[in-house]
Amino acid sequence: MAERYKTYSAFFDFYLSEHNLPATRAVHYLGSAFGIVALILTVWTSNLLWILAGLIAGYGCAWIGHFFIEHNRPATFKYPLWSFAGDYHMFFLWLTGQLGKRRKQAGLV
């Protein structure tokens, strides 16, 4: 990853390529779901520790996917905000059945 991405759209194509295996994406979806649940619990209980739990669970799942399934380096280390947005972008596309179409646009299918 020598290039620095200047737009989120270009980064997202790269992001999708780094999540090529279905199992990697699956553990990311699990982590994203944990993050959403933690946010809901934070609001419901007013306990900010749920945010910490959500971050640990979310990133833990994602990093397991990268290190043990996909065998690549998480984009979080170089693009922390875009990577965080990419997690939920990919999750939303998957939930709405649009991920295959978007992966095809990126030349990945």
C-alpha to C-alpha distance for 101 and 97, rounded to whole angstroms:
8
Residue 12, domain member (yes or no) = no
Which of 38, 29, 35 is closest to 92 using CA atoms? Answer: 29
Residue 30, domain member (yes or no) = yes
Residue 2, domain member (yes or no) = no
Which of 28, 10, 3, 7 is closest to 93 using CA atoms? Answer: 28
93: containing domain: 22-105
Residue 93, domain member (yes or no) = yes
| Total domains in the fold of the chain | 1
C-alpha to C-alpha distance for 89 and 83, rounded to whole angstroms:
9
Residue 31, domain member (yes or no) = yes
Plot region of 71 (φ>0 → left; ψ -120 to 50 → alpha; else → beta): left
Residue 5, domain member (yes or no) = no
pLDDT digits (tens, 9 = 90+) for 63-106: 999 999 999 999 999 999 999 999 999 999 999 999 999 999 99
Q: What is the pTM of this model?
A: 0.91
Could you tell me the pLDDT band of residue 2, with boundaries at 50, 70 and 90? low
Residue 3, domain member (yes or no) = no
CB-based burial label for 55 (10 Å; 0-12, 13-18, 19+):
middle
pLDDT digits (tens, 9 = 90+) for 8-59: 999 999 999 999 999 999 999 999 999 999 999 999 999 999 999 999 999 9
Residue 49, domain member (yes or no) = yes
pLDDT of residue 4: 86
